[in-house]
Amino acid sequence: MIRGTEKGFRRVTRPRLLLAAAVGVTCVGVLLLGGVFSDGPQSAAAVPAMPFAAGEQTALGNLVAGFATGDTAAYVAKLEAQVAGPDRDGLSLTLLGLAYQQRARETGDPTFFTRSAEALTRAASEEGGPLPLMIQGHASLANSRHQFRKGLALARRAVAQDPENAGAYGALGDALLNLGRYPEAFRAYDRMVVLAPGISSLTRVASARELRGQPAAAARAVRFALSLDHAVPEHVSWTRVLLGNIDFNQGRINRAAAQYRTVLRQNPGYVHAEAGLARVEAAQGRFRAAEARLRRVVSVLPIPAYVILLGDVLHASGRDAAADKQYELVGAIEKLFAANGVSTDLQTAVFDLDHNRNVRDALARARSAHREAPGIVADDALAWGLFRAGRCDEARAHSVAALRLGTRDALFFFHRGMIERCLGDSSARDWFVRALDTNPHFSLLWAPVARKAIA
């Protein structure tokens, strides 16, 4: 699903280049690998340069302006009316495809991905050939559907057509990151930051820094992004939620709650901030308050992560029958995502493994997900699946791989502890302690298990 870190659709116009020059010295401090890689991570394919035309640049300005109103639904309706008339063109259809991706992000409705694909495909036929922005839109869509190999190929085409298109580098980095090709992904993000410093690029840098075990540096990148970019209110709200999430993941739940409340003062009812506060309430043992808040959240944005959290809150409060109803709903939602082209193997596998459901099939899905996108998240999921299947020697190898970047993820540490305990290794206790030291509230299901293991 399109996140706030995926909005980099606009090409770098002269004002944008002036901004980049003005903050260039500061940006050097937020790069992941320390500089611009002029040859880039893309292959040297013989594709003629096709930079964004003036019409595309103007249209992209309109897209950002449409998102900036805070009423994306109305903007989508306006674009739909425009392309329904006789004067429709490929560029309007492209913008509609991109706007549908934003609606998918806002609503959790995966049917918008299908509509995006249809609009982008129609755009290509209207124009008689793919323009750079169309290809970038297809790349972002493929990544949102977790089709990262397809996203990589499309993003490389977009970069080759316009090497100064920051958004294409974002899509390129996203695909590489999920494929486990981290140095190349970091180079793509570095290039994106230099071309267009702002929320889209710097939140990607922040996410990469978290993967590398640098949460404080991640937070600095997010704050820098907020000092540069306030074009789209929803993206600003999401970015502030990221600051709260960084705090929560390090166990600083009071600081996290303060970030979420700041968002809600600026954007009342913002669903991701509400979900963040619900996590804090659950961590504090305030299960009734968390349940009430999460029921409001899932009525607005019924995505699997929030439905699962509601189920886990109900389970932690001793209401297993109510929890099971939420868990059953997760399966129906995942089927809807799959029907709209979203690969759900990784997500469904982890859910089933956590809740001891369909373990054999879940392990097969974890293997499939790892084959398709062998990043550290997939390594951890496969390690967990192998552990649940009693294959702890194999599980350890994948757990080691999951931690290869130095990621400070309490759940990764907990999984490693369970694997070492399965193997009879005395280091198991150290891994449980490390998980709880990183974040004593890392999981409603598993933090109590870790605490019991070291008691």
Which residue in this structure is represented by tokens 């990262």?
148
Residue 229 has pLDDT above 70, yes or no: yes
Let me know if the fold of 4-209 is the same as that of 364-455. yes
User: Given pLDDT bands bounded at 50, 70 and 90, which one contains residue 411?
Assistant: very high
Contact 100, 76 (CB under 8 A): yes
At 45-87, the pLDDT tens digits run 333 444 555 556 666 666 777 777 778 889 899 889 988 877 6
pLDDT at 67: 78
- With both helix axes pointing from N to C terminus, report the angle between 345-354 and 359-372 in degrees, rounded to the nearest 10: 150
pLDDT at 421: 98
pLDDT at 75: 87
DSSP state of 403: T
Lowest-pLDDT choice from 17-26, 135-144, 155-164, 308-317:
17-26
Long-range contacts of range 402-406, CB-CB < 8 Å, 24 or more positions apart?
402/376, 402/377, 403/376, 404/376, 405/182, 405/211, 405/212, 405/213, 405/376, 406/212, 406/213
Mean pLDDT of 34-43: 33
Cα–Cα nearest to 187, from 32, 43, 45 = 32
Mean pLDDT of 22-51: 41
Residue 18 tokens, joined: 């002036």
Contact 126, 88 (CB under 8 A): yes
Q: Which of 362-376 are b and which e, b meaning 16 or more Cβ less than 10 Å from the residue's Cβ?
A: bbebbbbbbebbbbb
Residue 90 tokens, joined: 């490929």
User: 135 or 41: whose pLDDT is higher?
Assistant: 135
At 112-167, the pLDDT tens digits run 999 999 999 998 887 655 578 899 999 999 999 999 999 999 999 999 998 988 99
| Fold entry, domain 364-455 | 1.25.40
- DSSP class per residue in 404-450: TT----HHHHHHHHHHHHHTT-TTHHHHHHHHHHH-TTS-TTTHHHH
Mean pLDDT of 291-306: 95
pLDDT at 88: 73
Q: Alpha carbon 353 to chain centroid distance?
A: 21
Q: Which of 263-276 are b and which e, b meaning 16 or more Cβ less than 10 Å from the residue's Cβ?
A: bbeebeebbbbbbb
**Helices of type H across 229-286:** 233-249, 253-266, 271-283
Lowest-pLDDT choice from 33-42, 141-150, 253-262:
33-42
Question: Whole-number mean pLDDT of the chain?
Answer: 86
Residue 140 tokens, joined: 């972002």
Q: Is 56 helix (H, G, I), strand (E, B) or coil?
A: helix
pLDDT at 32: 66
Cα gap 96→92, rounded to integer Å: 6
pLDDT at 51: 54
Residues 6+ apart with CB under 8 A from 448: none
Give the CA distances from residue 164 to residues 22, 23, 158, 235, 415, in Å, rounded to whole numbers and listed in that order: 17, 17, 10, 23, 42
pLDDT at 92: 85
- DSSP class per residue in 186-236: HHHHHHHHHH--SHHHHHHHHHHHHHTT-HHHHHHHHHHHHHH--S-HHHH
pLDDT at 132: 81
Lowest-pLDDT choice from 84-98, 339-353, 415-429:
84-98
What's the CATH number for 4-209?
1.25.40.10
Residues 6+ apart with CB under 8 A from 276: 241, 244, 245, 248, 256, 257, 259, 260
Contact 212, 228 (CB under 8 A): no
Lowest-pLDDT choice from 7-11, 62-66, 161-165, 400-404:
7-11
pLDDT at 58: 64
- One-letter identity of residue 400: V
Which residue in this structure is represented by tokens 């150290």?
430
pLDDT at 212: 96
Mean pLDDT of 387-415: 98
| In the chain, domain spans | 4-209, 364-455
DSSP state of 133: H
pLDDT at 195: 93
pLDDT at 52: 55
Cα gap 366→233, rounded to integer Å: 36
Cα gap 405→244, rounded to integer Å: 23
**Percent of the chain predicted with pLDDT > 90:** 72
DSSP state of 70: S
Lowest-pLDDT choice from 15-19, 74-78, 306-310:
15-19
Query: Within 13 A of 140's CA, how many CA atoms are on the CB side?
Result: 34
At 340-390, the pLDDT tens digits run 999 999 999 999 999 999 999 999 999 999 999 999 999 999 999 999 999
User: Given pLDDT bands bounded at 50, 70 and 90, which one contains residue 447?
Assistant: very high
